[in-house]
Chain A
C-alpha cells in the first residue's frame, strides 16, 4: 500500500506563480524525498529531508516537514514552463531499504 499521498492530484498555474503541493503519510519515517517526473522520462530526485529537519531549500524549491502531523509540503516559487511535470513524494522508514511513493501531483504551468 502507498505510504505517501499527494494533494492535490493536479494543479494548473500561470507562469511566475507559486505552486504548492502536499504529502501525507501514515507511519513514522526516517526521511522523506521529493521527485520530479517529466513526461516519458524517469524520476529525478529533488530534495531529501530527514525526520529531524523541518525545512530545506534548493534553488526555487522549499520543502517543509511536520512529523507531528505526518505531512510535508513542496513549494515551487516563480514557476516556469519547464516546471510542468509530475511530482512525487516518497517515504523511507527506519531500517528499511525501500521507498514508498505516492500517486503524484501533476503540475501544469501555463505560459
Chain B
C-alpha cells in the first residue's frame, strides 16, 4: 500500500520555466491538498480539492494552478516559476466524513517535492 506518492522528489528550475508536480493516492480519498513548507512558517495551503473535477483556492494560490481529472490524482502546476516559489511541496489526502462537512479526518501526506528555482 503506497499511500500518497509525489513525483518528482527533487527538481531545479530556472526562473520562468514551467513544471507540473504529480500527486497520486491509492486510498480512494475524496479530499486532496497541496501545501508548501518554508522554514519557520509551517505548512501553508495552496489549493485543495473535495472531489474529482473540483478545486478551490487555499491560503497562497497565486502563481499556481491545479487539476483533478481523476479521483486518485492531483496535479500542481507552476506556469512561470519564480525564486519565491522555492520550497518543499507536500500533497495530502483524506477521507470525507460522512456525517459532517469539513476536515474531520486525518490527512495522509506524501514525502514531498523539493523544488529550487534559480
Count the A-B residue pairs with Cβ separation under 8 angstroms: how many?
71
Q: Contact: B107 with A99, CB < 8 Å? A: yes
Contacts of B108 in A (CB 8 A): 45
Give complex CA distance A102, B41 in Å. Answer: 7
Tell me, yes or no, whether A111 is within 8 Å of chain B by CB.
no
A70-111 residues with Cβ-Cβ distance < 8 A to B are 88, 90, 92-104
Tell me, yes or no, whether B74 is within 8 Å of chain A by CB.
no
Contacts of B44 in A (CB 8 A): 101
Q: Contact: B102 with A95, CB < 8 Å? A: yes
Q: Contact: A88 with B42, CB < 8 Å? A: yes
Contacts of A101 in B (CB 8 A): 35, 42-44
Q: Contact: B109 with A96, CB < 8 Å? A: no
Number of chain B residues whose Cβ lies closer than 8 Å to a Cβ of chain A:
30
Contacts of A93 in B (CB 8 A): 102
Task: Give which listed residue, B102, B106, B111, contacts A30 with CB less than 8 A.
Answer: B102
Q: Contact: B42 with A102, CB < 8 Å? A: yes
A33-49 residues with Cβ-Cβ distance < 8 A to B are 33, 35, 40-45, 48
Tell me, yes or no, whether A64 is within 8 Å of chain B by CB.
no
Q: Contact: B109 with A103, CB < 8 Å? A: no
Per-residue CB contact flags for chain B residues 92-118 toward chain A (1 = under 8 Å, else 0) read 100000001111111111111000000
Give complex CA distance A96, B56 in Å. Answer: 12
Q: Contact: A98 with B110, CB < 8 Å? A: no
Tell me, yes or no, whether B61 is within 8 Å of chain A by CB.
no
Contacts of A67 in B (CB 8 A): none
Contacts of A27 in B (CB 8 A): none
Interface residues of B, Cβ cutoff 8 Å to A: 4, 31, 33, 35, 40-45, 48, 50, 56, 58-59, 90, 92, 100-112
Other than the known A43-B107, A92-B103, A95-B101, what 12 A-B pairs have Cβ atoms closer than 8 Å? A2-B42, A31-B104, A40-B111, A42-B111, A43-B43, A45-B106, A88-B42, A96-B102, A98-B45, A102-B42, A103-B41, A104-B42
7 pairs of A and B residues whose beta carbons are closest in the complex? A42-B109, A45-B106, A92-B103, A101-B43, A103-B42, A101-B42, A43-B109
